Amino acid sequence: MKTDNNRAWFLILPVLLCVAFSAILPLMTVVNYSVQDILSPTQKVFVGTEWFRMVMLDGDLHSALLRQLLFSGSVLAIQIPLGILIALCMPADGWKASLALVLIALPLLIPWNVVGTIWQIFGRGDIGLMGYTLNSLGINYNYNGNSLDAWLTVMVMDIWHWTPLVALLCYAGLRAIPDAYYQAARIDGASRLAVFRYIQLPKLRNVLMIAVLLRFMDSFMIYTEPFVLTGGGPGNATTFLSQYLTQKAVGQFDLGPASAFSLIYFLIILLFCFVLYTWMQRVGTGDQK
């Protein structure tokens, strides 16, 4: 069918303008940097795909990317089930529900760099509650010296900071399930596990999708907390992608490679989100026989 009137397109012009200034123009600046070698404000050379090739072959970047994938994968694997579990255990109504909500939401209210500082002090062997306790229990814990300790600390910190988000989303999803489902399950003689498997989990699908996407994007871009806590160390043990990028762009002022890398980074996140989204949609509705 032929469209008779195209004037409706004018109505989206304001949105287009907003998006242009907030996203497209800054992105184009990055594109601009990524294909030039800027020697001085007046002297620049077009280099084509050279920065991209260089960045792609960068061994440090490969290990940062792997580290990043491992990190995002492990925090997702812990935060999502843990969040569901917490949401299931939270009281449904009354003052207890309000109290639980406030307590659970507390970590979300703390600014990123403060979270980093809290854990930096918390984990110190001399004055930190956790570090001191662990050391007095005979466990040799030192997040500044031992890469495994550093890794675990960053992970526990992220889990502490962001599991509440997953829990709150799941809690909202659980409250939205009509009572009739639970009543029907009781009539049908369903076990607690069956109620979870066949009622709660399917009904949580949409909020879980949002939770997974949010947590994936956020954890894949993690910067402030490990920067404050470990500074990326010891060695490069907790240097994740965004920190590596910042070192390149701001530390060494290699704007060309940094821009090329930014674009790749952007595409990776876009790709992962797309794949995750399609996959979770498929899990919910696709396998019709």
In the complex, the residues that contact other proteins under the rule CB under 8 A are 178, 180-181, 183-184, 186-191, 194, 198-199, 202-203, 285, 287-289
| Least Å from the CB of residue 87 to other proteins | 19
Task: Say how far apart CA 14 and CA 199 lie, in whole Å.
Answer: 43
| Least Å from the CB of residue 214 to other proteins | 23
- Give the nearer residue to other proteins in terms of CB position, either 207 or 255: 207
| Least Å from the CB of residue 255 to other proteins | 51
Mutual orientation of helices 205-220 and 147-175 as an angle, nearest 10°?
150
180 CB contacts (<8 Å, ≥6 apart)? none
| Least Å from the CB of residue 88 to other proteins | 18
**Are 235 and 251 spatial neighbours (Cβ–Cβ below 8 Å)?**
no
- Give the nearer residue to other proteins in terms of CB position, either 195 or 217: 195
Q: Which residue has the tokens 């009354």?
A: 94
- Give the nearer residue to other proteins in terms of CB position, either 137 or 187: 187
Mutual orientation of helices 147-175 and 95-105 as an angle, nearest 10°?
150
| Least Å from the CB of residue 242 to other proteins | 38
- Give the nearer residue to other proteins in terms of CB position, either 43 or 285: 285
Task: Say how far apart CA 282 and CA 241 lie, in whole Å.
Answer: 30
3-state secondary structure 173-213: HHHCCCHHHHHHHHHCCCCHHHHHHHHHHHHCHHHHHHHHH
- Give the nearer residue to other proteins in terms of CB position, either 7 or 192: 192
